[in-house]
Amino acid sequence: MNAIEVNGLRKEFKAYSSRPGLSGAFRDLFTRNYKIVPAVNDINFTVKQGEMVGYIGENGAGKSTTIKMLTGILTPTSGQVMVNGMNPHKERERFVQTIGVVFGQRSQLWWDIAVQESFRLLKKVYKVSDADYNEHMDHVIKTLDIEPLLDKPVRKLSLGQRMRCELAAALIHNPPLLFLDEPTIGLDVLVKLKIREFLKEINEKYNTTILLTTHDLTDIEALCERVIMLDEGNIIYDGALRSLKEKWGEGKEISFEFLERAELARLQTLTEDLGAKWEMDEKDQIFTALTGDDDEVISQVIARTVAAYKVRDVKINEPSTEEIIRNIYEKGMMHHG
């Protein structure tokens, strides 16, 4: 069964522009300029039950808008959305019973009351029985290690503590589908790791589908096999994270740290015929050559460089996912779909 089915989904917004200056503002009083901007541009995808999918893109690419349409917050301009077999906006109150949502930037919990009071209220809101609650939440509370936080008011929690509580709150009714919008934003590494562990666990235990948007690609690498990549409202990649790497992660990076002053221009001319491209990190005096995957070329580049300068350190790296993705965006990515 598919947890999410999206067909030709589109959302347009009216973008108002204001005219400059005082006289412009006066004219804006009566008529305002606007144009219609598609935030999400006829996209299609499906997510199977139990999948963990990373939904990525730059700011303003349309991630949040999509998530909001999938959760029933926004009504699509056109196209079909089927989530958990329902149309989110049409049967909103019945539908939201089957999803959990965490907005990293926005709290689900009541600011002034103790965390467990919030939980108790949400338990009532989602009509969860005592037995279900105890069985399920005991486990969640233990795994997220929030037992000691339960009697504190939310406003006294640190960001990391709060985020763990938010996650627990989103799971009170044990939804088969979980939306996470920037769940790890601003968190330290240990909390991030804990949250990732936890997400993996509930995915395995309950076959929970997870759709995750994040700026932190290490989250995606740790959790998701599949990524959907968005640019200007269009899906520009939908597939396995691994093949994304294979497809666009061509080439290697060789970084050198020299014992003496080196010149970028000289290194460039030295390896011109091999097709290596040099970059320099000013601060640490680290020089990086970008080459193809050919082992012969790589060893040639190293050999010539070492002959020219004394070397303190050499590293050969594959480009990280982040670099690959940055690369894709920089190139503009024409391979839509």
Partner 1 sequence: MFYVRMFFQYVAQYMKTRLEYRADLVVEIFSDLLFQAVNLIFILVVFAHTDFLNGWNRDEIIFIYGFFLVPYALFSAFFNIWDFNERYIVKGEMDRILTRPIHSLFQIILERMELESLFGAITGLAVMFYAGSRLGLEVNWYDPLLFIVLVIGGVLVYAGIFVMIACISFWADARTSIMPMMYNIGNYGRYPVDIYNKVIRFVLTWVLPFAFVGVYPAAFFLGRDEWYVYSFLTPFMGLAFFGLSVYIWNEGVKRYRGAGN
Partner 2 sequence: MDKYLEMIRIRFLMMLAYRTNYYTGILIYSINIGAYYFLWNAIYGGKSEIEGLSAVQMTTYVAVAWMARAFYFNNIDREMAMEIKEGKVAVELIRPYSYLGMKTMQGLGEGIFRLFFFSVPGMVVVALIFPLEFSANAATWGMFAVSIVLSFLINTQLNLLTGITTFFLYNNTGLIRAKRVLIDLFSGLLLPISFFPGWSQEIMQYLPFQGISYIPSMIFTNGFTGSEAVEGLLLQAAWVLILVIPIQILWSIAKKQLIIQGG
- Residues that bind partner 2 in the complex, under the rule CB under 8 A: 18, 22, 25-26, 28-29
The one of partner 2, partner 1, none whose footprint includes residue 75, by CB under 5 to 8 A per kind, is: partner 1
What ranges in the chain are assigned the alpha helix state H?
21-30, 63-70, 92-95, 115-125, 130-144, 159-170, 189-206, 217-223, 241-248, 264-270, 295-308, 321-331
Query: CB neighbours (10 Å) of residue 64?
Result: 21
The one of partner 1, partner 2, none whose footprint includes residue 18, by CB under 5 to 8 A per kind, is: partner 2
* Residue whose CB is less far from partner 2, 28 or 42: 28
Closest approach of Cβ 82 to partner 1, in Å?
18
The one of partner 1, partner 2, none whose footprint includes residue 26, by CB under 5 to 8 A per kind, is: partner 2
Closest approach of Cβ 229 to partner 2, in Å?
36
Q: Residue numbers of the site for partner 1 (CB under 8 A)? A: 13, 16, 39, 64-65, 68, 71-75, 89, 92-94, 96-97, 99, 101, 103, 106-108, 110, 112-113, 117, 121, 124-127
Mutual orientation of helices 159-170 and 130-144 as an angle, nearest 10°? 150
* Residue whose CB is less far from partner 2, 36 or 111: 111
* Residue whose CB is less far from partner 1, 2 or 98: 98
* Residue whose CB is less far from partner 1, 172 or 289: 172
Residues 6 or more apart whose CB falls under 8 angstroms from that of 318 comprise: 249, 252, 253
* Residue whose CB is less far from partner 1, 85 or 275: 85
Token pair in block for residue 110: 């009541």
